Amino acid sequence: MSNITKLPAFGDMLNAGIQTVKNLSTRNTIGRTVFYREFEKLAQIVNDHKEINYMSNYDIRHECHNGSPCYDEIVDLILLCLSAMGLVQEGKFSLVPNLNQNFANFITFDEKVTPKNIIRLDPFGKVYFWLAGNNFNQYISDGIPNSDYIANLNRFDNKAFADLQKVNIAAYGKNGDTLINHLIEETQRRTSIFMNNYADASVGNDFVKVTPSMIMTQIESLSPLQFEWFCLKLIERSLEIESPESNLTSRHTGRSNDNGIDGLIIQDFPDGEVHNYYIQAKQYSAGNNISNGDLRNFIGAYPPQKTNHHGLFITTTSFTKPAQDYANSTDSHSLILIDQMNLIELMMQHKVGLKEVNARPKLLLDNEFFEKIKLY
């Protein structure tokens, strides 16, 4: 029975793998024996580490009650990462060091690999694509029940990284290793995005009726600055439809934190009349509602002239009762409150982030619009 209950942190082991290839890079190829000898010295692996087992799907199917070593699976994962990062040309023995321009990224690197610094080694996120492919191959090799089909996405999600999840718990305890958790979660996140949020789609129907929750999911995916830009576009479009004869000039001021004003729209009419719209946009999570203090700070940032100067406070949540009372009672400023439902209604009314199609249902999410917003 092993006296050691955990393997060394995966980030330390992955770094040991990187240093092993660097140390042996003068060789044309790196064989299994020489790799393990150098790697185990750097990673401080002892025999007890190799006796930590888990029950793989293969073991369960073939009634191998002793299980399989976690260490073997962890080393396979390290080799996959080294291959995806481009440090070696092949992920199987004998390893071929890849001494191209990319090798320079690894020369000065010698620290524990973490979810934050892995981008230095893998700036294009290739590790996640390699892992996704490996995950799918594992899914296929585990077999599909006769009553099911290969493209059952719910089943695929449930079976994702089945063995790696078991290894992670057996080797690192119930919470798993931080870096392995990150690799699994980020790979699944990217796979889901690649599948274009398939959970919202209907099989056999090209058009999926938009719902408020779908709209909010898109809005919540924006960064705070992107949300400010989105709100500027929404109000600009509303004014354009309501007064097509006017000329609009927009400016996003949020970057400079211009006295609490995130955006400004100037509306010029042919008769010389000018209106200024001052926008504050707050992308808050559910339950974090706007207070009357927030409104007081906001109206202090634009002129107290109700005819031509208008403040619009937009939020993804709601306004507290004292905030609503304050807005209704203020005589000094023109103040308009737009909460989540008003926001969605404006989007649907003026087709901002939504588009109409000649089919039922008519209103769809305009993904191209949101992709442009996310480029901002």
Same domain, residue pair 165 and 247: no
Same domain, residue pair 96 and 45: yes
Same domain, residue pair 263 and 301: yes
pLDDT tens, per residue, the chain with 376 residues: 456 789 999 999 999 999 999 999 999 999 999 999 999 999 999 999 999 999 988 878 778 788 999 999 999 999 999 999 999 987 788 899 988 767 777 888 999 999 999 999 998 899 999 999 988 888 887 777 776 777 776 777 778 898 999 999 999 999 999 999 999 999 988 887 666 444 444 333 445 567 788 888 889 889 888 999 999 999 999 999 889 999 999 998 876 455 579 999 999 999 999 999 999 999 998 889 999 999 999 999 999 999 999 999 999 999 999 999 999 999 899 999 999 988 988 888 888 888 776 655 566 777 778 888 777 6
User: Is 204 a member of any domain?
Assistant: no
Same domain, residue pair 93 and 224: no
- Full domain range(s) for residue 335: 216-374
Provide the pLDDT for residue 209: 64
> Contact at 8 Å (CB) between 201 and 214?
no
Provide the pLDDT for residue 93: 86
User: Does residue 263 sit in helix, strand or coil?
Assistant: strand
**What backbone torsions phi and psi does residue 253 show, to the nearest 5 degrees?**
-105, -5
**CATH code, 336:** 3.40.1350.10
Provide the pLDDT for residue 61: 77
Half-sphere exposure of 74 (CA within 13 A, CB side): 37
Same domain, residue pair 251 and 189: no
User: Does residue 252 sit in helix, strand or coil?
Assistant: strand
Provide the pLDDT for residue 135: 87
Provide the pLDDT for residue 263: 92
Q: What does R_g of the chain's alpha carbons equal in angstroms?
A: 28
Answer yes or no: pTM beyond 0.85: no
How many domains in the chain?
Answer: 2
Same domain, residue pair 26 and 140: yes
User: Does residue 186 sit in helix, strand or coil?
Assistant: helix
Same domain, residue pair 131 and 82: yes
Q: How many CB atoms lie within 10 A of CB 268?
A: 13
Same domain, residue pair 260 and 318: yes
Whose structure tokens read 């600009």? Answer: 236
Same domain, residue pair 44 and 172: yes
Provide the pLDDT for residue 144: 74
> Contact at 8 Å (CB) between 3 and 70?
no
Same domain, residue pair 181 and 223: no
Q: Is the dihedral of CA 62, 64, 67, 73 positive or negative?
A: negative
- Both tokens of 211, joined, read 């719902």
Same domain, residue pair 30 and 148: yes
Q: Tell me which residue of 54, 57, 61 sits closest to 169, measured CA to CA.
A: 54
